[in-house]
Structure 1
Amino acid sequence: MDQQLQIFITVAEQKSFSKAASTLHMTQSAVSQHIRAFEEKMGSRLLERTNKYVRLNQAGEIVLHHAKEMDRLYQHMRRLVDDVTNQASGPLTIGASYTFGEYVLPPIIAKLHQLYPDIQPSVEIGNTAHIADLVSRNHLDIGIVEGHFKQEKSLSTTKHSNDEMVIVASSRHPLAKRKRLGASLLADQLWICREEGSGTREAAEHVFKLLDISPSNMMIFSSTQAIKEAVESGLGVTLLSKWAIKKELARGDLVMLPVKGLPFKREFSIVTASSFQTKALQVFISLLVSEDGSVMLSDSIVIE
């Protein structure tokens, strides 16, 4: 699909040049240049711009309506071509939330490359809300996410696998030797947590409700790896997936704290745009849910 048309759709949906630039991984000036060139091509101004907003005018509304229809037809055309050639090849854009993307997805991508070398995967890792949003706007072919997110009508969601969340601390932390921990002790700790919008943060909020605690001392990190490093150094405690801490548990750098009611279980889900799947996407989904894929997922969470 024409790049300028896709950029226009993104700006119109985001109502912001800066947000569109971030979504498209472009500079704001590049986005502005493409929009100006597109408006010149259309022979009409399509967007009203002020310091406070960017919004469509009447001509822009007409163009956006037909641009979305062209995008749908383009995607349908790609699917028909894939079916005719009967080959799993070409680009495949995959999104994943941090836990799945950083600790489970890499060996699956390696398996995909081994079986289908003509598929060209690219991976974006972000929090659950961000990945689901990109899939809903057809910027990603598929997402694997945890927790809840805004369920757009264009999305199809399938449960994929279970995850176990545990509270962990440094092996040198004063709580590490305890055989059982009460809620009051946990409430007094410094909690190292992910940002709002992440599935791991959502799980932490569920655990706080389960334990009936409201930690007053909290520090926010936007990276699971950074959280692990901070907790290993003795900074505080955190709630993480067993997948994310397999190596640290095996080395003894982190320990799971014995808390009644844990581990907390959550689900990972596969999210796709409901109407369109290329052959490359079909074989990737098959790999995710196949016996081989299941074995890789199981192996990923074994704690020796």
Structure 2
Amino acid sequence: MEQYLQVFKEVAETKNITLAAKKLHMSQPSITLQIQNLENEFGARFFDRTNKGVTLTKEGEIFYEHVRKALNILARAKEQINALVKDHKKVIYLSSALTIGEYILPNILAFLFKTYPDVEFKVKIANTESISQDLIERKIHIGLVEGSVYEHNGLNVESFWQDELVVVVPYFHPWAARKSISLEELSHERLVTREEGSGPREAIENALREKGLDPDQLTISMELGSTHAIKQVVAAGLGITIISSLTVTKESEQHIFKLLKIQDAPLYQDLNILTDAHVAQSKEESVLIGLLHDHKLIEDILSRDFYELDKSANKLHLLTSK
């Protein structure tokens, strides 16, 4: 029955059976059949169907409110049962985009493990669409994503960081003595980037367009599936890249890479926190979200190695225990 309710809720919120089927990774006929079974079970028509999509009937609106509350209750019940199974440990399920998961979360989690040893964090790396869907289905508590987010009335979206996108060249490159370059100069260089359609690639293209710059002017010579692979290629002198400044901080300090701005057009992308708009946050979840909004503390945490995090962790413990 829970799956039937999830299907109904998704159709009600997207107002489109085809879109709901795509987001739930189900076939359209299967979605339609489950809705029909629900309507037969309750002896009521829940949707008005038109060529433009579906809308809730009055009966459907009443049913939707109960379905939303029922799914929320089930999610909390699962969470409480899981907590008992885990020897009363509080478990927070996180899902993160690759850049955040690889370059921000490790230090933050190491910091939190020291501060809250009784809290267990389960982390999965995924794309924005999967993270949003997992939140809607109550599979995770918090999602951390890069760039724009598909609007959904069941999700809260909070920006917690503006990540600067920078041009990265090896230190032996002729541009290494400079602080910035123009887009025209950039277009003449071989650019190494993520694959088309990936989150980081779209973030760069969107940031360029927002500045009135045309991404098609860039000469893309290589597309790779990971940030680590891109950095290796650039370090070998096989091209340059536009990338998150967070991912190259250490290489910049070690004089492996030089970071450059595009003249008169600094590029940024938002890093966002996603949460379920219909579910109250636990104390532990609120602490994590509050930490992500504390820019000074985050900068301090990210600048340290894991073994240096005790001092900052003790500081947060004192603040949160007051």
* TM-score strictly above 0.5: yes
Which residue does the alignment assign to 2:229?
226
8 Å CA contact 1:128–1:147 kept in 2: the answer is: no
Query: How far off is 1:97 after superposition?
Result: 1.9
1:100/1:213 CA distance change after superposition, 3 Å: closer
Separation in 2, partners of 1:241, 1:286:
23
Query: How far off is 1:8 after superposition?
Result: 9.3
1:163/1:185 CA distance change after superposition, 3 Å: same
Gaps of 5+ in 2: 11-19, 42-62, 83-87, 305-322
Which residue does the alignment assign to 1:100?
100
2:91 is aligned with what amino acid?
P
Query: How far off is 1:56 after superposition?
Result: 4.1
Which residue does the alignment assign to 1:267?
270
8 Å CA contact 1:192–1:218 kept in 2: the answer is: yes
Higher mean alpha-carbon deviation, 221-230 vs 88-97, is at: 88-97
Query: How far off is 1:100 after superposition?
Result: 1.8
Higher mean alpha-carbon deviation, 169-178 vs 90-99, is at: 169-178
Please give the per-residue CA displacement for 1:123-172, whole angstroms capped at 9, x wherever unaligned: 12233333233223322211122211111100011221222111112223
TM-score, scaled to structure 2:
0.66
Which residue does the alignment assign to 2:292?
288
2:302 is aligned with what amino acid?
S
Q: How does 1:237-248 map to 2 (within 5 A)?
A: 237-248=240-251
Separation in 2, partners of 1:284, 1:244:
22
Q: How does 1:1-304 map to 2 (within 5 A)?
A: 5=2, 9=6, 15=21, 19=25, 54-57=30-33, 58-59=36-37, 70-77=70-77, 89-177=89-177, 181-196=181-196, 198-209=198-209, 210=211, 211-214=213-216, 215-257=218-260, 259-276=262-279, 277-290=281-294, 294-298=296-300, 300=302
- Paired residues, what number? 262
Higher mean alpha-carbon deviation, 127-136 vs 139-148, is at: 127-136
2:257 is aligned with what amino acid?
L
1:142/1:172 CA distance change after superposition, 3 Å: same
2:292 is aligned with what amino acid?
L
Query: How far off is 1:9 after superposition?
Result: 4.7
Tell me how large the CA RMSD over aligned residues is: 3.8
Give 3-state SS (helix, strand or coil) of 2:145's partner: strand
8 Å CA contact 1:183–1:212 kept in 2: the answer is: no
Separation in 2, partners of 1:207, 1:225:
22
Higher mean alpha-carbon deviation, 222-231 vs 62-71, is at: 62-71
Higher mean alpha-carbon deviation, 121-130 vs 236-245, is at: 121-130
1:275/1:258 CA distance change after superposition, 3 Å: closer
Higher mean alpha-carbon deviation, 279-288 vs 293-302, is at: 293-302
1:282/1:79 CA distance change after superposition, 3 Å: farther
8 Å CA contact 2:191–2:241 kept in 1: the answer is: yes
Give 3-state SS (helix, strand or coil) of 2:262's partner: coil
Identity of aligned residues (%): 28
8 Å CA contact 1:191–1:218 kept in 2: the answer is: yes
Which residue does the alignment assign to 2:52?
none
Separation in 2, partners of 1:168, 1:149:
26
Higher mean alpha-carbon deviation, 214-223 vs 67-76, is at: 67-76
Separation in 2, partners of 1:213, 1:190:
13
1:279 is aligned with what amino acid?
K
Separation in 2, partners of 1:109, 1:282:
14
1:297 is aligned with what amino acid?
E
Separation in 1, partners of 2:223, 2:39:
40
Give 3-state SS (helix, strand or coil) of 1:148's partner: coil
Give 3-state SS (helix, strand or coil) of 2:239's partner: coil
Give 3-state SS (helix, strand or coil) of 1:188's partner: coil
8 Å CA contact 1:196–1:202 kept in 2: the answer is: yes
Separation in 2, partners of 1:178, 1:116:
44
TM-score, scaled to structure 1:
0.70
1:141/1:168 CA distance change after superposition, 3 Å: same
Please give the per-residue CA displacement for 1:47-83, whole angstroms capped at 9, x wherever unaligned: xx7xx9644412267789887654222235578999x
Separation in 1, partners of 2:273, 2:296:
14
Give 3-state SS (helix, strand or coil) of 1:217's partner: strand
Give 3-state SS (helix, strand or coil) of 1:244's partner: helix
8 Å CA contact 2:291–2:298 kept in 1: the answer is: no
